[in-house]
Amino acid sequence: MTNTEVFLQQLIYGLSNGMIIALVALGYTMVYGIVELINFAHGDVFTLGGFLTLTIVGVLGAAAIIEPGALGESSHWLLLLGLVIAAGVFCGGLNLAINRIVYKPLRSAPKLTQLVAAIGVSFILVNIALFWGGAPMKVFGGGNAAAASKDFPEILEGSNLLGDSSNVVLRLEDIAIFAVTIPLMIGLTLFVKKTRLGRGMRATAQNPIAAKLMGIDTDRVIAATFLIGGFLGGAASVMWSVYNNTISFQMGFRAGMDAFTAAVLGGIGSLPGAMVGGVLIGLIRAMSDQYIETRWTNVVVFGVLILILIFRPSGLLGLKQREKV
């Protein structure tokens, strides 16, 4: 491969992974923007979305799904859409339940208490994923190795869209990521800007007390925020599974760290910032893996984050605001 082809290949990898990271980062930044809570359990909600996706594939029959010609091309896309909706609804509902059971009773508690609770929920979800990994199903290895990574069947056609003679590989999975993530991002932006509930979210983010005095049901707004953030995390888990063809009970840690870093890089609380941050993290990781070395990638990612925060503490697109004590 020429240098140009290598660069283009890493650009494709970086953009594809970056869009997935951005979806997860949106969940972090939405919750923080509304209630100023770093929801460390969000990455593990993402993990359970991936496990649900593999379970659905196993119930439908993995062999029939991945066998060439077993399903028409349109059926594969419908299956992917169905998985996105199912995982999104599941993760949104799970996030909503976590908010109702854990975070809502602690709303007036010190921030440190809420943070510890979020970490506790994260550990609970990790262990649920570990238990789920031992399900007695063929797609989970018959339940013999619960902690082992699970292979995810290839749902979309894996051939190179640029042709067999091309050294640069562009797969349907790459197209699917953009086909799913971009409409979700545009829809979220329009929802926040154009709808009554979206205006309530913006008002609550700016001043929750004033919003409540103006008649806005802030509890409803917060619940909707957790629901939407969870849905985006569920959609991201499907795209992660389809793109990487593997899941594990710890995958939420890696994705969660990248997404949280992206949210901080772009400006925590800023939706456009989370999108930009996610894409940047994806590109930095891909280029570092190729041109430096994989073992130094985390150093490069967090080094860039630190440099940006030194010169712009609020992040690339974040607004400067006084910390509430």
Task: Evaluate whether 263 touches 28 at the Cβ level (below 8 Å).
Answer: yes
Contact present, 163 and 157 (Cβ < 8 Å):
no
Classify residue 163: in a domain, yes or no: no
Q: Is residue 318 part of a domain?
A: no
Q: CA-CA distance, 108 to 114, in Å (whole number)?
A: 9
pLDDT of 299 over the 70 cut: yes
In a domain, 80, yes or no: yes
Report if residue 199 sits inside a domain: yes
Assign residue 185 the CATH number of its domain: 1.10.3470
Whether 150 is in a domain gets the answer no
d(CA 263, CA 28): 7
Instruction: Encode pLDDT of 163-175 as tens digits.
Output: 888 888 888 889 9
Helix (H) or strand (E) holding 48: helix 42-60
Structurally, the chain folds into a number of domains equal to 1
At residue 319 the predicted structure's pLDDT band, cuts being 50, 70 and 90, is: low
User: Using one digit for the tens of pLDDT, what is the confidence trace for 121-138?
Assistant: 999 999 999 999 988 888
Look at residue 325 and tell me whether its pLDDT is greater than 90: no
Note the pLDDT of residue 38. 87
pLDDT for the residue 69: 47
pLDDT tier at 59, thresholds 50, 70, 90 = confident
Residue (of 239, 53, 59) closest to 138 by Cα position: 59
Helices (H), 157-296: 172-194, 196-206, 208-213, 218-244, 251-266, 271-291
3-state secondary structure of 19: helix
- Average pLDDT over the chain reads 88
Mean pLDDT of 202-231: 90
Work out the average pLDDT over 228-250. 93
Nearest Cα to Cα of residue 226 among 324, 102, 84: 102
Q: Is residue 320 part of a domain?
A: no
CA distance 274 to 280: 10
Indicate whether 215 belongs to any domain: yes
Within-domain flag for 303: yes
Tens-place pLDDT, residues 203-217? 988 888 898 888 889
Q: 251-283: per-residue pLDDT in tens?
A: 998 888 899 999 999 988 888 899 999 999 999
- Give the predicted TM-score (pTM) of the model: 0.90
Residues of the domain holding 213: 3-142+172-311
- pLDDT at position 237: 94
CA distance 18 to 255: 10
Report how far residue 298's alpha carbon sits from residue 89's, in angstroms, rounded to the nearest whole number.
Answer: 32
